[in-house]
Structure 1
Amino acid sequence: MKKLTSLLLVLLLTSILAACGGNEETTSDAGDKSAPAEEKQQLKIGATSGPYADMVSNAIKPLLEEKGYEIEVVEFSDYVQPNIALGNGSLDANLFQHKIYMENFAAEHGLELSELVVVPTAPMGIYSNKFNSIDEIEEGSELALPNDPTNLARTLMLLEGLGLITVDGTINQLTASEKDVVENPKNLKLQPIEAGQLPRAVDGVDVAAVPGNFALAAQMDLLSALALEDMPDDFRNRVVVKTADLDAQFAKDIQEVVQSPEFEEIIDRDFQGFGKPEWMVNR
């Protein structure tokens, strides 16, 4: 019995010592985990299908790969999921939206999003299969334009700049409507429709104002427009990241490649008609 008791005491002491050793090892491991994590080398960048997915794939991705990154381009068919995916960490960056949309979406969904760099953007265009110039547009012509407030505000400013209408003061980007028009000297029949349908509308109306991304998706030639928008930078698309990642190395590298001469060369070659942001024009 004494021998059995001694054996049990030895086993108990051994178990206690082993447990203490295990705790020390765990503490040491925890210390290692507190060390700074390595910077990301595998990035997922989201973009809407069409010209901006092409811009990521053909211009941004290869330049980042030269820096040693592995890039996966994730394409979306809507304007909601790219920001949701960025907010939940499924993406590291996205490219599809302008400043006003980004700020309102972030506020509505409780997201912390920030722009990284503004990129060349396909402008709104005035298209017609009936007229060859703005001056030829006749009295009472039917003009299709986007029905969503942000794109409609851009269209009204474009039409005002062309002398076709006059609007009432400053247009609210979130509530704009055709009711903002106070002067319409040619009595144009303004017909707001869903923006994605505007390329098809070119064949059915006298004139149509088509946002650049939808024009390109329908394989329209931007340079065939009667007039193209000289958009302010707030309406140009930008690369967006989570605000917490603004100072991350991958974010700095994305900004560097977009602002490189090599990126602009690709834009000039493959994205003709895209309006360049102020930083690119003025450098």
Structure 2
Amino acid sequence: MKAQSLKFLLVISLVFGVLTGCNKAESPTDQPSSAASPVVLKVGAAAVPHAEILDYVKPKLAEQGIDLNIIVLDDEAQLNPALADKQIDANYFQHVPYLDSVTKEKGYALTVAGKVHVEPIGFYSNKITALDQLKDGATIGIPNNPSNEYRALVLLESKGLIKLKEGISNYSATPKDIVDNPKKLKFAEVDAAQLTRSLPDVDGAVINTNFVLEAKIDPNTALFREDANSPYANIIAVRTGEENRPEIKKLIAVLNSEDVKKFLKDKYGVAVVPAF
């Protein structure tokens, strides 16, 4: 009886061990862990050059586990509302004075995560090829949003065409702030995105470089432009408090790399200048 009992116990132990081993082998915790899912980062951008630059760095971010979704809206003015409403994680289309003017007007809690590039604004014309050909009473097209309008007027002032009143410090000015206009220039205030189309109707226009590039106009045809020391660096904007998110910091690091600096120079030349 004792021998039979011992055999029975041994059989039971073996069966229990096999079952336990099978269960252990099939336990999900013992399976090889799958790779972590990439972090999705949605960035709204202007089509040119911003989305093109983001597309260039997309593979580099993928190597760091970030799936960069680039979202281009037909109306760039909607990129800040989209960011404020959490439809996107960041945007890349504007400079600091524009961001400041919009956040002040709309009350958005947005901030700068990093600077990327400057697009020197320039003066273009279909009718003249040199500044001394600009006639008295000529009509000049300028952007109609506050920060870029001021920027355009400052550029014209730098060439001695006008003089603005003293004490303007909020990056906001209109032709009403001109105190000296020796050529009696007239000004057409036009939506910035439409200025390239207005060139046939004016004697010249001060146009943002991204719109020049979109219109396939050679930026080298500008009669004059800002220098590289412009304060209008294009930025990555995020919701206030989110500038230190790991994926945002990785985005800025990649955009501020020597590789991107070379890409900007090779692809855009004088039209897009690194701001880092």
Cα distance between partner residues in 2 of 1:221 and 1:243: 37
Per-residue CA deviation, residues 192-234 of structure 1 (Å, 9 max, x unaligned), is 2232221122122221111222222212111110011237554
The aligned residue for residue 6 of structure 2 is: none
Contact 2:115 2:236 in 1 (8 A): yes
Q: TM-score, normalised by structure 1?
A: 0.76
The root-mean-square deviation of aligned C-alpha atoms, in Å, is: 2.3
Is 1:214 aligned to 2:211, yes or no?
A: yes
Paired residue for 2:102?
A: 105
Structure-1 separation of matches of 2:198 and 2:104: 34
What is the DSSP-based 3-state SS (H/G/I as helix, E as strand, rest coil) of the residue aligned with 1:119?
strand
* 1:159 is the counterpart of 2:156: yes
Residue 54 (structure 1) aligned to one of 41, 52, 55: 52
The 1-side partners of 2:225 and 2:235 are apart by 20
Q: What percent identity do the matched residue pairs reach?
A: 33
Number of aligned residues: 241
1:91 counterpart residue number: 88
Match of 1:125 among 122, 126, 134: 122
Question: What is the Cα deviation at residue 275 of structure 1?
Answer: 4.5
Letter in 2 for 1:138: K
What are the ranges of 5 or more consecutive residues in structure 1 without an aligned counterpart?
A: 1-37
Residues 141, 189 of structure 1: 8 Å contact kept: yes
Partner amino acid, structure 1, of 2:92 = L
Distance 2:138 2:155 in 1: 17
The answer to whether residue 183 in structure 2 is matched with residue 186 in structure 1 is yes
Aligned twin of 2:265: 268
2:49 counterpart letter in structure 1: P
Structure 2 unmatched ranges of 5 or more: 1-35
Residues 267, 275 of structure 1: CA spacing in aligned structure 2 closer, same or farther, 3 A cutoff?
Answer: closer
Amino acid at match of 2:194: Q
* 1:31 aligned partner: none
Give the drift of 1:148.
Answer: 2.4
Contact 1:120 1:236 in 2 (8 A): yes
2:200 to 198, 203, 209: 203
* Length-normalised TM-score, structure 2: 0.78
Counterpart amino acid of 2:115?
V
Pair 1:134 & 2:131 matched: yes
- Please state whether the residue corresponding to 1:185 is helix, strand or coil: coil
Amino acid at match of 1:72: N
Work out the CA distance in 2 between the residues paired with 1:62 and 1:79. 25
Partner of 1:115: 112
Give the corresponding residue for 2:12. none
Give the distance between the partners of 1:190 and 1:110, measured in 2 at CA: 30
- Of structures 1 and 2, the larger Rg is shown by 2
User: What do the CA deviations read for 1:130-183 (whole angstroms, capped 9, x no partner)?
Assistant: 221223322222222222222110111000111111111133556521111111
Deviations 1:38-95 (A, max 9, x none): 997221111123321222112x323212323211111112234322332333322210
